[in-house]
Amino acid sequence: MSPALSIVASLSSDVRQDIGVQVLSRSRPISDIAATHQVSRKFVYQQGDKAQQALDETFAPSKGDDDVLFQLPVTKNWLFQLILGLVLICHSSYRGIVELFRDLFDVSISVGTVHNRLQAVTEKAAEINQSQDLSGIEVGLQDEIYQSDKPVLVGVDAASTYCYLLQSADHRDEDTWGFHLLDVMAQGFEPKYTIADGGSGLRAGQKAVMPAVPCHGDVFHIQQQFEQVANSLARQAQGATTRRIKLEEKIAQAKLKGKITQKLTIQQVKVNRRERGLVARARDVKILLQWFEHDVMALAGPDLAVRQELFDFIEIELKQRAGKQYPSIRKLRKALHNQRDQLLAFAGVVDQKLTKIARDFELPLQAVRDVCLLHRKSPTSSAYWTRWNQLHAQLSVKFHRLMAAVDEALKTTPRASSMVENLNSRLRNYFFLRRSLGDSYLSLLQFFVNHRCFLRSRVPERVGKSPKQLLTGQPHPHWVELLGFERFQRT
């Protein structure tokens, strides 16, 4: 490298800017500037040109908002696509579409036209839904949502979030669920197991048509019920404390006036007794809830047998505190008793996966379980890293691969039907605009949610992909093109 090139390469951006400013200001001859920095005059002129270009861009007149950005050929088919986009993407009402066409496009359409345009593509959407191979679904999440007092049966793949069932029905009994499950079974639906809440019709229908497929319990709903009971007792205990304080203030004022009565004394005894009972009961139920969430229902935890023993202990403790005055505790205990095996079924799945990992790594099962239990601790805690170092020293070169295998096993073991609950909340944005739901409209919604791409997700692998692409592993045309339209793209 020549000395001149070496000097140029070593010049900082600030020095280059200073050279450009000196050239524009014409305060010094070009040869003097070049000699000062030991560079060629050509390089000095180049810095001046860059500075002039930056100056021109800064003070260039801004483009007007009325400038034409691109040409859009508006045809009837394009307007029909716009109707679909407004309904499916923007959740627009029919009358909102009519108003937008009138005000922004100077086009007059009727509510009936909007309806007919949607109906025109529902048959194609239903055909695509029914042609999908569902054999790749390993875990199905099932639930019910209501619209105008009529149930809508919903089923979602736990891994890909693909909606394999979205049907309106008059009932939610065994026959109804069995009938619609037979339809999806004809498309290859044969999961290893499903997850659902305690709905008797749902479970009975699945058992009738898929007797070999277990239906696990939904952890979310029972934990929510437990939390509601604990919070209700805490509020009652706080209310009892408030009443006791107010009564003590009233008694103190009565003593000052010499008007203390036996009635106030009896009230004080009763209030104190009720407060002590409620505070103790609320504290005990809160502790039982914490054990239930962190020791029994946690994904990373002890084996199934230990969980069952802890589960039974919590049920017994609740039974001892479920007096006639606390029907919510009795209802919770009954729900726990009836759903124990279904709620703990996920633990059996975790045990099977850990056993396979132990066999693959040629390690004792307890060593794998110890790595699993490490996931219970917060990665920001000193306890986590203390145990991490102990396990790393114990397992040596196998530790990192074992950690990854256990982490993957836990991530791929769903415990709740939260994904179907998420879908239900998104469907609500469409349902509230319509008093009644037809099967054709639901087919269109099912098609759309399965073929639109995720803009964002907590799972990075889902971003930019549709549920169908995640299910099949294969790309597919845009949902507008699948419905037979030519999508506009700028050249």
pLDDT at 247 over 90: no
248 and 283 share a domain?
A: yes
- For residue 286, give its domain range: 219-343
Region of poorest pLDDT, from 113-117, 124-128, 140-144, 251-255: 251-255
157 and 271 share a domain?
A: no
Q: Which residue has the higher pLDDT, 65 or 292?
A: 292
Note the pLDDT of residue 280. 92
Average pLDDT over residues 23-37: 87
Is 65 part of a structural domain of the chain? no
Note the pLDDT of residue 266. 84
Note the pLDDT of residue 309. 96
339 and 354 share a domain?
A: no
Q: How many domains does the chain have?
A: 4
Average pLDDT over residues 131-158: 89
Is 15 part of a structural domain of the chain? yes
Note the pLDDT of residue 1. 47
297 and 430 share a domain?
A: no
pLDDT at 202 over 50: yes
What are the tens digits of pLDDT across the range 115-131? 999 889 999 999 999 99
94 and 212 share a domain?
A: yes
258 and 292 share a domain?
A: yes
Q: Choose the final residue of a domain: 360, 379, 411.
A: 411
Q: What is the mean pLDDT of the chain?
A: 89
- pLDDT category of residue 437 using cuts at 50, 70 and 90: low
Is 63 part of a structural domain of the chain? no
What are the tens digits of pLDDT across the range 375-427? 999 999 999 999 999 999 999 899 999 999 999 999 999 998 888 888 888 88
pLDDT at 257 over 80: no
pLDDT at 6 over 80: no
pLDDT at 169 over 80: yes
- The CATH number of the domain where 136 resides is what? 3.30.420.10
pLDDT over 70 percentage in the chain: 97
pLDDT at 470 over 70: yes
264 and 357 share a domain?
A: no
Average pLDDT over residues 87-106: 92
Query: Looking up tokens 């507008």, which residue turns up?
Result: 480
Is 471 part of a structural domain of the chain? yes
